[in-house]
Structure formats: C-alpha cells, structure tokens
Amino acid sequence: MAGIYIHIPYCKQTCSYCDFHFSTSLKSKDAFISSLIHEIELQKNYLGKNTLIETIYFGGGTPSLLSTDELDKIFKSLYANFSITKNAEITLEANPDDLSKTKLQELKLSPINRLSIGIQSFFEEDLKLMNRAHTAQNAENCIKESQQAGFENLTVDLIYGTPGLSNTNWKKNLAKVFDFGVPHLSSYSLTVEEKTPLESHIKKGKVKPVDEEQSAEQFLILVEETTKNGYEQYEISNFCKPGFHSRHNSNYWKGVKYLGLGPSAHSFDGNSRQWNVSNNFRYIKSIAENKIPSEKEILTTEQNFNEYMMTGLRTSTGISLEKVSTEFGEDYLSKLLTEAKNYLDCSKIILKRNHLILTNSGKLIADRISSDFFA
C-alpha cells in the first residue's frame, strides 16, 4: 500500500503566517494542470508496478480553487496510471470561501470522500490577523453545508496561540467544532516562520509577539477539551472520533511509501527521498521536457533512525524499542535508552508496553526530545 500527495500551488491571497509554496497569480494554472497530468504519467512507476494506492491527498496552496472539471481531468489520469483501492481515502484541502452549496454538490459526485477545511478560527479578529480570505460566518456555513451535502468524513484546522486569543475564546473555538459534530480536528500553535508577513509585522511592532506560555496553556486546554468530548489524540496535533483518523497522514508517520506530485512536493520510496522544485515556471518547463524537476537523496541508517525518532514520538503509540533493536541494532537502542532516562525520570516520557510515549508535558517539548534522541 502507498499514498499520493498532490500539491496545488495557488491561493487567492497570502496568509500572514504561511511559508508553503504557492502563487497568488493564477495565470499559469492551465499549464500547471497539463503539467501535473503529464507528471502523473512520468511517475507512474515510482512506487513500483502493481503497488496499490490507498490514500490520495490534495494539499497546497488551496486545492479548492480547482474547478470540478480540472479535478476530473486529474482523477482520470490518476486512475489510468495507478491501481487505486475501492475504499481509498481521498482528501481535498479547502478554504471556507470556496465551498459554495453548488461546489459541494459537485465535489460529492467526485471521488473525493474527505474534506479538510482550513477554518483556523471562528473569530473575525483572528482571521484578519492571519489575513484569511473567509469570514467567521463563512466558517460556520461551510461546515453545515458540507454536512448537508453528505460529507461525513470532515476535518477542520484550528490555530491557537495567536496574539490576542484568550483562553476563553480558544475554548469557544473548540466548542464550535464539538457542537457541529466534526469528527476530526487538526490544531497547531501559531509559528512565526522566516520571511512571512507575520514575522515582518511582529518586527515592526504591528502585531504582538507570540506568547509561548499562553500557547502552552492553550495546547493543554486543547488536549483536555478534546478528551472530554470523546476525541483520541493519535498524534500531537491530530484528534479524532473513533474510526476517523487520517489514513494518509498516519501513513507518513508509519514510514509508508508515497509519491508527491506538483511543485515542492516530496516523495519517499522506502530507501530515498526526493522533492520537486519550488517554482511553478521551472516545474512546468521541466515537465514539458519530460524531466522530473527534483533533487534526491539516498537515506542512511542514521537518517532513517532520526526520522523514526521525530515521527514516532509524535504519535500516541510512540517509539517501539523492539523496532529500534530489530531495524537499527543494539547500539542505537542503548544510546536511545541512555538519552531517554532523564525524560523518564521527570515524567516527560513513559515506558508502556515496550514503547516510549510522550506525556502531555512532554508533548510541549516534543521537538527538543526527539532531537536529543537523534543519532
């Protein structure tokens, strides 16, 4: 089994915090669609012949900017070149302002069976700070209308730790998700990335810096409130009702193979990793010449170990000591246990069923712990 990720590199406008690859000009969109379809053909053997595809994920950018006709062309090429399982999870990331009733009805007739909606907040002041294109009312309407259109497998994104977001309003954001009965939630702390408008606004004093202490408080509120409402935290930033975990993202954390298509998309075949150029013009030009515009690296044992530390530790199952011993050897296991001792002693990690698992306080410093575990 394997997955396919498709990067759609276009947005209506620039969100202040975003450092993903995208363009706000749609002039090259038609050429991009043609190039993407051609890349599908060029990459049909990347995952190995007869490999079954069980997940497809349209990310971006803003995939909901595509028309259903454009999506149909992409699906025809995917199904012609890959063996896709009948029950494949097929996710489309969408912005609330793109999800009209008509668009939702059209999407329901497509192979898409899961929507990931970028709500971020139900408060206007937060949306303006983040320079989102939708309003708070759009956010509520699109959830209702998605459900009315027949989409049961829904996930929404929320951001906490934004300057000015009180703990009270954060709880209200979460309560909206629970009240709507949305079965999956992805929630992230606001991060100030380099060369983003948010970084510039903070440096110029237009926006207050992110309060790390408040962000930590809101993470713990997130964990508490989702637990009370019957959600499982199966990864640090992901929460779901039973049966609604993201199969696509879970496969990333399990080390399952995947093919990335489109500018800036990454791929993994089990032994190597490659990534496409983050430039729409160069991508289109290269594909026209029957060349995949990518760089590649063969992964060493050390790199594979470090990746397992980083991804495994973020999940609810944690790091398997048996897997470390079997796949990486006793030297790696010995070093890991030595590094883990201090975190076990201060209850940032627990040892359960031969797995190292983060506690809630440990989740607040997950990146630091995983980096300490790196070979």
Give the pLDDT of the chain (375 residues) as one tens digit per residue: 999 999 999 999 999 999 889 899 999 999 999 999 999 999 999 999 889 999 999 999 999 999 999 999 999 999 999 999 999 999 999 999 999 999 999 999 999 999 999 999 999 999 999 999 999 999 999 999 999 999 999 999 999 999 999 999 999 999 999 999 999 999 999 998 999 998 899 999 988 998 999 999 999 999 999 999 999 999 999 999 999 999 999 999 999 999 999 999 999 999 999 999 999 999 999 999 999 999 999 999 999 999 999 999 999 999 999 999 999 999 999 999 999 999 999 999 999 999 999 999 999 999 999 999 999
The strand order across the sheet containing 349-352 reads 319-320, 355-358, 349-352
Q: Could you give the C-alpha distances from 195 to 32, 68, 173, 189, in angstroms and in order?
A: 26, 34, 28, 18
Element (H, E) at 342: helix 330-345
Q: How far apart are CA 51 and CA 69, in angstroms?
A: 27
* pTM of the full structure: 0.96
Asked if the domains 2-253 and 301-373 are classified in one and the same CATH topology, the answer is no
Helix axes 101-108, 68-81, angle to 10 degrees: 20
105 CA to centre of own chain: 25
**So what's the architecture of 2-253 in CATH?**
Alpha-Beta Horseshoe (3.80)
Domain boundaries, the chain: 2-253, 301-373
Burial group, residue 195, by CB count within 10 angstroms (0-12, 13-18, 19+): exposed
Residue with tokens 């713990």: 220
Q: How far apart are CA 176 and CA 225, in angstroms?
A: 12
Residue 264 tokens read as 């800036």
Beta carbons of 309 and 320 less than 8 angstroms apart: no
The top-level CATH class assigned to 301-373 is mainly alpha
Q: How far apart are CA 175 and CA 152, in angstroms?
A: 19
